[in-house]
Copies of this chain bind each other. A is one copy, B any other.
Amino acid sequence: MAVSFAEMLDRHAARMPDRVALICEDRQTTWSELWQRCQAIAGGLCKLGLEKGDRVAFLGLNSDWFYEGYFAPSFMGGESVALNYRLSVNELSDCMTDSAAKVLIVDPARLTMARQICARLGGSVILIVIGTEPEGKEISYEKMIAAAHSIDQKIGAGDDTLIIYYSGGTTGRAKGVMLSHWNLFANSTGHAQVYDVCSEETHLLTGPMFHLGAGARVFCSVYAGCTMVIQPKFTPLGFLQIIQQHQVNATMFIPAMMQMVLDLPEFGDFDLSSLRQMSFGASPASEELLRRIVAAFPQVAISHGYGMTEASPVLAALGPEYHRADFAEKGKLGAVGRPVPHCDLRIFDANDQELPVGEIGEIVARGPNVMKGYLNQPELTAETLRGGWLHTGDAGYFDEDGILWISGRIKDMIISGGENIYPGEVENILSIHDQVAEVAVIGIPNDKWGEAVHAIVIPAAGTAPDPAELVAYCRANLATYKCPQTISFRHEPWPLSGANKILKTELRKPFWGS
């Protein structure tokens, strides 16, 4: 039989009907209610004329409604489209057109935006509104649920697409990543094992659900049958309040969030003893931050995850044994860890030939977690999955212990005097210098070498580092050809992508012109 997330919800509704599945603000939903609501939403979609394979988009902050938006379409064989509310009306209209979504469900916070999108699309999309009186042809979400129409389509399962995420705003056209029930099941099994996710615990979801980075927790919690407390939008105080109030056992964060949490003067006022497991990702954490986290949460097993939407998303994880007090001595600080059990990771050169241990190349992946493909982009799909391997675009290498290290993006690679230089390697060295808060390394034009290595440094608070000393420091720790030839200082935040990654294209622009 094929796996089905709709059937998993059915299972929990049967086994623990009255246990709370979802908590969001003042609303609580039991597994039985969640299952009934998803059934009713799917029935409503059938009533609107949708058929198996049709798409339903969701626009809004994190919420129990967004959670329903993940799964309810699959109850009638539909596919969900998770929209990024940080995008513009223009960009979102493109996503709607690309996905050919027939229905858009919107929460109260993004109603105006949704109406603009629908107007732009010329009335071809059915708008379902939550918590608002519908206007014109709009449909009330809660009234549709109350009507509880029956489902006349088959449920989604197996290779059927469960959800589409739009990713990669940094380079050209947005890519609709199609993930199947099998893809997300595979990730959930490995996720549950690697992060030790136990059934019937309570998880806090705080990262944006329009990204799979946070969304992966949703699928894993459904697989394992966990209660999910959803924070609509991250605030450090709210994060602590929720953990204490709902006795949260597990959560995830990105380093910038945890920095804010630890900096809160009220941090010590909260009882966080229920917390047992935390994972983090999206960007590496500094040694200083890791030390603070380990000291602040001594009882918590901390893991780092590395992945991408196209891999459903986890590819590798660095386990709790590397995030204890002695982690620095283990020499794996900054590594991304071991491949998850269901996935094969290799390092390929530019000709897709496998590289040996220790050599830097492109990280490629193969396994049941790898996406079906990019919607409407067969050529990009074929290129990205060529030879049966997902080409991540990340540069990295395996060390002798089988631990994966990231060296940056392949496209950020600097070629200077014929040598390949990965900015990540240089950034890793500079970032542990006392006077460096953050650093980005890029290639800039150089008549002699083609490109030269340039470092942009945000100095540590209260310091004014000497460029010559930083260069000397690099020379003491890196091969000469990898050392920055020039260093500039920056005092404003980095230009960031929607996924909070530094936009190096922006940093390069002043040097390269058009």
- Chain A interface residues (CB < 8 Å from chain B): 1-3, 7-8, 10-11, 14-15, 158-159, 182, 185-186, 189-190, 192-193, 199, 223-225, 339, 341-342, 344, 346, 354, 366-371, 385, 388, 390, 402
Contacts and interface: CB of A to CB of B under 8 A. Distances in A.
Q: Main SS of the interface on chain A?
A: mixed
Q: How many copies does the complex hold?
A: 2
A74 to B, nearest CB: 15
Contacts of A367: 1, 3, 7
Contact of A189 (B193, B339, B370): B193
B1 A370 contact: yes
Contacts of A1: 366-371, 385, 388, 390
A223 B367 CA distance: 12
A21 to B, nearest CB: 16
Given A1-B366, A192-B193, A367-B1, A344 B388 contact: no
A367 B11 CA distance: 10
Contacts of A385: 1
A354 B192 CA distance: 29
B3 A342 contact: yes
Contacts of A2: 159, 182, 368
A223 B343 CA distance: 10
14 contacts: A1-B366, A1-B369, A1-B385, A2-B368, A3-B368, A7-B344, A7-B366, A8-B344, A11-B344, A15-B402, A158-B159, A189-B193, A199-B341, A223-B341
Contacts of A344: 7-8, 10-11, 14-15
Contacts of A190: 189
Contacts of A8: 344
B14 A341 contact: no
A186 B158 CA distance: 12
A351 B223 CA distance: 29
